Chains A and B, each alone.
Chain A
Amino acid sequence: DTGVSQNPRHKITKRGQNVTFRCDPISEHNRLYWYRQTLGQGPEFLTYFQNEAQLEKSRLLSDRFSAERPKGSFSTLEIQRTEQGDSAMYLCASSSSGNPEAFFGQGTRLTVV
Protein backbone atom coordinates (compact mmCIF):
# COMPACT_ATOMS: atom_id res chain seq x y z
CA ASP A 1 0.00 0.00 0.00
CA THR A 2 1.61 3.22 -1.15
CA GLY A 3 -0.97 5.48 0.48
CA VAL A 4 -0.77 7.43 3.72
CA SER A 5 -0.02 5.14 6.64
CA GLN A 6 -0.78 5.82 10.30
CA ASN A 7 0.22 3.93 13.43
CA PRO A 8 -1.15 2.78 15.71
CA ARG A 9 -4.69 2.28 14.43
CA HIS A 10 -6.10 2.29 17.95
CA LYS A 11 -4.77 3.58 21.25
CA ILE A 12 -6.38 3.35 24.67
CA THR A 13 -4.67 5.33 27.39
CA LYS A 14 -5.33 6.48 30.90
CA ARG A 15 -5.98 10.13 31.60
CA GLY A 16 -2.75 11.97 32.27
CA GLN A 17 -0.56 9.72 30.15
CA ASN A 18 1.36 10.85 27.08
CA VAL A 19 0.71 9.36 23.65
CA THR A 20 2.49 9.62 20.31
CA PHE A 21 1.13 8.85 16.87
CA ARG A 22 3.03 8.39 13.62
CA CYS A 23 2.13 9.29 10.05
CA ASP A 24 3.98 8.21 6.92
CA PRO A 25 2.81 10.29 3.96
CA ILE A 26 2.82 9.37 0.29
CA SER A 27 6.52 9.47 -0.52
CA GLU A 28 6.51 12.25 -3.10
CA HIS A 29 4.24 14.55 -1.08
CA ASN A 30 5.94 17.45 0.67
CA ARG A 31 2.88 18.66 2.61
CA LEU A 32 1.55 16.80 5.63
CA TYR A 33 -1.55 17.69 7.64
CA TRP A 34 -2.98 16.57 10.96
CA TYR A 35 -6.72 16.68 11.59
CA ARG A 36 -8.93 15.56 14.46
CA GLN A 37 -12.37 14.07 13.91
CA THR A 38 -14.99 13.46 16.56
CA LEU A 39 -18.13 11.42 16.08
CA GLY A 40 -20.61 13.06 13.74
CA GLN A 41 -18.29 15.90 12.78
CA GLY A 42 -16.03 16.79 9.90
CA PRO A 43 -12.25 16.67 10.27
CA GLU A 44 -10.91 19.66 12.18
CA PHE A 45 -7.54 21.11 11.20
CA LEU A 46 -4.73 20.87 13.78
CA THR A 47 -1.46 21.66 12.01
CA TYR A 48 0.49 21.20 8.80
CA PHE A 49 4.03 20.95 7.50
CA GLN A 50 5.72 21.72 4.25
CA ASN A 51 8.79 19.53 4.23
CA GLU A 52 10.16 19.86 7.79
CA ALA A 53 8.72 23.32 8.44
CA GLN A 54 5.55 23.60 10.51
CA LEU A 55 3.65 26.33 8.68
CA GLU A 56 0.45 26.64 10.67
CA LYS A 57 -1.06 25.52 13.95
CA SER A 58 -4.71 25.80 14.81
CA ARG A 59 -5.59 28.21 17.58
CA LEU A 60 -7.59 25.34 19.04
CA LEU A 61 -4.40 23.32 19.53
CA SER A 62 -3.44 23.46 23.19
CA ASP A 63 0.18 23.49 24.32
CA ARG A 64 -0.22 19.82 25.29
CA PHE A 65 -0.12 18.98 21.58
CA SER A 66 3.12 18.99 19.61
CA ALA A 67 3.94 17.77 16.14
CA GLU A 68 7.21 17.20 14.39
CA ARG A 69 8.43 16.26 10.94
CA PRO A 70 12.19 16.25 11.50
CA LYS A 71 13.38 15.02 8.12
CA GLY A 72 10.50 16.12 6.01
CA SER A 73 9.19 12.57 5.66
CA PHE A 74 7.19 10.94 8.48
CA SER A 75 5.56 13.02 11.21
CA THR A 76 4.69 12.42 14.84
CA LEU A 77 1.90 13.96 16.89
CA GLU A 78 2.34 13.87 20.66
CA ILE A 79 -0.34 14.62 23.22
CA GLN A 80 0.91 15.18 26.75
CA ARG A 81 -1.19 14.72 29.88
CA THR A 82 -4.14 13.34 27.93
CA GLU A 83 -7.67 14.35 28.89
CA GLN A 84 -10.96 12.60 28.15
CA GLY A 85 -11.78 15.38 25.69
CA ASP A 86 -8.83 14.31 23.59
CA SER A 87 -10.66 11.12 22.64
CA ALA A 88 -11.12 11.30 18.86
CA MET A 89 -9.89 9.99 15.54
CA TYR A 90 -6.61 11.63 14.55
CA LEU A 91 -6.22 11.77 10.79
CA CYS A 92 -3.14 12.51 8.75
CA ALA A 93 -3.23 13.65 5.13
CA SER A 94 -0.58 14.49 2.56
CA SER A 95 -0.40 16.44 -0.67
CA SER A 96 2.06 18.15 -2.99
CA SER A 97 2.42 21.89 -2.63
CA GLY A 98 1.46 22.45 -6.26
CA ASN A 99 -1.55 20.12 -6.21
CA PRO A 100 -4.35 20.59 -3.69
CA GLU A 101 -5.54 16.94 -3.72
CA ALA A 102 -5.06 15.65 -0.18
CA PHE A 103 -5.10 11.94 0.63
CA PHE A 104 -5.92 10.68 4.08
CA GLY A 105 -4.59 7.87 6.19
CA GLN A 106 -6.78 5.41 8.08
CA GLY A 107 -6.43 7.42 11.24
CA THR A 108 -5.52 6.64 14.84
CA ARG A 109 -8.49 6.28 17.16
CA LEU A 110 -7.58 7.53 20.63
CA THR A 111 -9.66 6.64 23.66
CA VAL A 112 -8.75 8.28 26.95
CA VAL A 113 -10.21 6.47 29.97
Chain B
Amino acid sequence: GENVEQHPSTLSVQEGDSAVIKCTYSDSASNYFPWYKQELGKRPQLIIDIRSNVGEKKDQRIAVTLNKTAKHFSLHITETQPEDSAVYFCAASKQGSGGYNKLIFGAGTRLAVHP
Protein backbone atom coordinates (compact mmCIF):
# COMPACT_ATOMS: atom_id res chain seq x y z
CA GLY B 1 0.00 0.00 0.00
CA GLU B 2 0.94 3.67 -0.02
CA ASN B 3 3.53 4.49 2.59
CA VAL B 4 5.93 7.30 3.47
CA GLU B 5 8.82 6.68 5.82
CA GLN B 6 10.57 9.58 7.52
CA HIS B 7 13.91 9.77 9.33
CA PRO B 8 15.12 10.70 11.83
CA SER B 9 12.28 10.83 14.33
CA THR B 10 14.17 13.38 16.44
CA LEU B 11 16.94 15.77 15.49
CA SER B 12 18.86 18.08 17.76
CA VAL B 13 21.18 20.75 16.34
CA GLN B 14 23.00 23.84 17.50
CA GLU B 15 21.80 27.21 16.29
CA GLY B 16 23.46 28.01 12.97
CA ASP B 17 23.98 24.37 11.98
CA SER B 18 22.14 22.67 9.11
CA ALA B 19 19.40 20.10 9.51
CA VAL B 20 18.42 17.40 7.03
CA ILE B 21 15.28 15.27 7.15
CA LYS B 22 14.79 12.40 4.73
CA CYS B 23 11.70 10.64 3.41
CA THR B 24 11.06 7.63 1.21
CA TYR B 25 7.78 6.94 -0.57
CA SER B 26 6.42 3.67 -1.91
CA ASP B 27 3.99 4.69 -4.66
CA SER B 28 5.95 5.42 -7.83
CA ALA B 29 2.95 7.34 -9.18
CA SER B 30 3.37 10.01 -6.50
CA ASN B 31 4.23 13.35 -8.05
CA TYR B 32 3.72 15.99 -5.38
CA PHE B 33 5.78 16.22 -2.18
CA PRO B 34 4.99 18.91 0.41
CA TRP B 35 6.63 19.56 3.75
CA TYR B 36 4.65 20.81 6.74
CA LYS B 37 5.84 22.41 9.97
CA GLN B 38 3.72 21.89 13.07
CA GLU B 39 4.38 23.80 16.25
CA LEU B 40 2.95 22.52 19.51
CA GLY B 41 -0.83 22.83 19.59
CA LYS B 42 -1.00 24.45 16.16
CA ARG B 43 -2.09 23.46 12.68
CA PRO B 44 0.35 21.92 10.17
CA GLN B 45 1.66 24.72 7.93
CA LEU B 46 2.94 24.19 4.43
CA ILE B 47 6.53 25.46 4.23
CA ILE B 48 7.74 24.17 0.87
CA ASP B 49 6.75 21.66 -1.77
CA ILE B 50 8.18 20.05 -4.89
CA ARG B 51 6.65 18.40 -7.91
CA SER B 52 8.11 15.44 -9.71
CA ASN B 53 9.26 17.40 -12.74
CA VAL B 54 11.76 19.30 -10.56
CA GLY B 55 14.82 17.96 -8.76
CA GLU B 56 15.40 20.77 -6.28
CA LYS B 57 13.61 23.83 -4.96
CA LYS B 58 14.86 26.54 -2.60
CA ASP B 59 13.15 29.19 -0.52
CA GLN B 60 15.57 31.26 1.55
CA ARG B 61 16.98 28.93 4.24
CA ILE B 62 14.98 25.86 3.25
CA ALA B 63 15.37 23.59 0.27
CA VAL B 64 13.88 20.31 -0.87
CA THR B 65 15.49 17.74 -3.14
CA LEU B 66 13.80 14.88 -4.97
CA ASN B 67 15.27 11.68 -6.37
CA LYS B 68 12.47 10.01 -8.34
CA THR B 69 14.53 6.96 -9.23
CA ALA B 70 15.26 6.17 -5.60
CA LYS B 71 11.88 7.49 -4.43
CA HIS B 72 13.60 9.72 -1.89
CA PHE B 73 13.06 13.36 -1.01
CA SER B 74 14.72 15.48 1.63
CA LEU B 75 14.28 18.78 3.49
CA HIS B 76 17.34 20.89 4.14
CA ILE B 77 17.32 23.78 6.60
CA THR B 78 20.46 25.93 6.74
CA GLU B 79 21.51 28.41 9.43
CA THR B 80 18.96 26.98 11.84
CA GLN B 81 17.35 29.28 14.38
CA PRO B 82 15.52 28.46 17.64
CA GLU B 83 12.21 29.34 15.96
CA ASP B 84 12.78 26.46 13.53
CA SER B 85 12.11 24.10 16.46
CA ALA B 86 8.95 22.16 15.62
CA VAL B 87 7.75 18.85 14.20
CA TYR B 88 8.26 18.54 10.46
CA PHE B 89 6.16 16.20 8.31
CA CYS B 90 6.83 15.07 4.78
CA ALA B 91 3.98 13.89 2.59
CA ALA B 92 3.32 12.47 -0.86
CA SER B 93 0.38 12.71 -3.21
CA LYS B 94 -0.47 11.80 -6.77
CA GLN B 95 -2.62 13.39 -9.39
CA GLY B 96 -5.84 11.64 -10.33
CA SER B 97 -8.33 12.41 -13.05
CA GLY B 98 -9.92 15.27 -11.15
CA GLY B 99 -6.93 16.68 -9.36
CA TYR B 100 -4.47 15.79 -6.67
CA ASN B 101 -5.51 13.11 -4.22
CA LYS B 102 -5.00 12.63 -0.51
CA LEU B 103 -1.71 13.28 1.24
CA ILE B 104 0.15 10.34 2.76
CA PHE B 105 2.24 11.62 5.65
CA GLY B 106 5.42 10.47 7.27
CA ALA B 107 5.53 10.00 11.04
CA GLY B 108 7.29 13.32 11.61
CA THR B 109 10.65 14.61 12.81
CA ARG B 110 10.92 16.60 16.01
CA LEU B 111 13.61 19.23 15.41
CA ALA B 112 15.16 21.01 18.38
CA VAL B 113 17.48 23.95 17.70
CA HIS B 114 19.55 24.87 20.76
CA PRO B 115 20.87 28.43 21.18
Q: Is the Cβ of A101 less than 8 Å from the Cβ of B99?
A: no
Give the interface residue-count category, chain B. Answer: 20 to 34
B98 at the interface (CB under 8 A from A): yes
**Majority SS of interface residues in chain A?**
strand
Instruction: State in angstroms the CA–CA spacing of A99 and B46 once bound together.
Output: 13
Q: Among residues 68 to 113 in chain A, which have CB atoms less than 8 Å away from a CB atom of chain B?
A: 91, 93, 95-107
**A33 in contact with B102 given A42-B89, A100-B49 (CB within 8 Å):** yes
Contact count A vs B, C-beta below 8 Å:
66
Q: Among residues 36 to 84 in chain A, which have CB atoms less than 8 Å away from a CB atom of chain B?
A: 40-45, 48, 50, 55-56
Q: Among residues 100 to 115 in chain B, which have CB atoms less than 8 Å away from a CB atom of chain A?
A: 100-108
Question: Which B-chain residue is minimally distant from A92 (CB atoms)?
Answer: B43
Shortest distance in angstroms between B20's beta carbon and chain A's nearest beta carbon? 18
User: Contact check: which of B36, B42, B99, B104 meets A31 at CB < 8 Å?
Assistant: B99
Contact indicator per residue, chain B 77-115, by CB within 8 Å of chain A (1) or not (0): 000000000000101010100111111111110000000
Shortest distance in angstroms between B97's beta carbon and chain A's nearest beta carbon? 10
- Interface residues of A, CB < 8 Å — how many? 29
Contacts of A41 in B (CB 8 A): 107-108
Contacts of B44 in A (CB 8 A): 43, 91, 104
A-side interface residues toward B, CB under 8 Å? 4, 31, 33, 35, 40-45, 48, 50, 55-56, 91, 93, 95-107
